[in-house]
């Protein structure tokens, strides 16, 4: 990876955060990795990538806020209480979506609309306009994320 020209760019911030997270994950590594352990670590790295991207973006965007909120919630409410809470949360979201008056506006786009809502974090309960702009930003960030991760991978695999 080259030295970045803009130190405060989202890519740079994401790279720093992500590498720090990897470092921390590495410390907790067990000596004999089983298959389940590998899967878990894979998930952790992925979630770390998402979360560091979100924290690199900051709270300006709805999707990054949603990701950050999810991370913090996972941290704060563990065990079974979390489970129950989550269920109520999901229900509430569904109710909100059903009660959304904008729903009828998009007509036959309902399915794609809902799929997109499921893909973009925090997309539930957004109106379509907002969803589109969030999606645009999210796509940009995902691209940057992929680029940085590829660069890191290249850097370490060679």
Contacts with other proteins in 3-32 (CB under 8 A)?
3-4, 7-8, 12-13, 15-17, 19-26, 28-29
Which lies closer to other proteins via its Cβ, residue 50 or residue 125? 50
Shortest Å, Cβ 120 to other proteins: 7
Q: Within 10 Å of residue 78's Cβ, how many Cβ atoms?
A: 10
Which of 43, 89, 90, 92 touches other proteins by CB under 8 A?
43
Q: How far apart are CA 60 and CA 36, in angstroms?
A: 36
Which of 10, 44, 65, 103 forms a contact with other proteins (CB under 8 A)? 44
| Least gap, CB of 49 to other proteins (angstroms) | 6
Rounded to a whole number of angstroms, the minimum distance from the CB of residue 47 to other proteins is: 5
Binding to other proteins (CB under 8 A) within 119-148 occurs at 119-120, 128-129, 132-133, 135-136, 138-140, 142-143, 145-146
Minimum Å gap between C-beta 100 and other proteins is: 14
Q: How far is the CB of 107 from other proteins (least distance, A)?
A: 9
Structure tokens at 33: 């990795």
- Interaction residues for other proteins, span 54-93 (CB under 8 A): 55, 68, 71-76, 78-80, 82-83
Q: Residue 48: which of 76, 40, 120 has the closest Cα?
A: 40
Question: Of 6 and 98, which has the nearer Cβ to other proteins?
Answer: 6
How far apart are alpha carbons 158 and 150 in whole angstroms?
12
């Amino acid at each position: 990876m080259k030295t970045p020209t803009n130190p405060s760019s989202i890519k740079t911030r994401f790279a720093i955060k992500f590498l720090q997270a990897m470092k921390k994950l590495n410390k907790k590594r067990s000596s004999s990795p089983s298959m389940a352990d590998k899967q878990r670590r894979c998930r952790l790295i992925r979630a770390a990538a998402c979360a560091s991207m979100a924290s690199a973006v900051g709270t300006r965007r709805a999707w990054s806020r949603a990701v950050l909120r999810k991370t913090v919630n996972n941290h704060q409410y563990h065990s079974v209480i979390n489970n129950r809470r989550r269920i109520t949360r999901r229900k509430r979201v569904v109710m909100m979506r059903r009660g959304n008056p904008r729903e009828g506006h998009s007509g036959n786009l309902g399915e794609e609309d809902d799929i997109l809502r499921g893909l973009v974090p925090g997309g539930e309960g957004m109106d379509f306009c907002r969803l589109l702009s969030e999606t645009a930003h999210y796509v940009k960030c995902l691209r940057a994320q992929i680029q940085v991760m590829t660069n890191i991978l290249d850097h370490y695999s060679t």
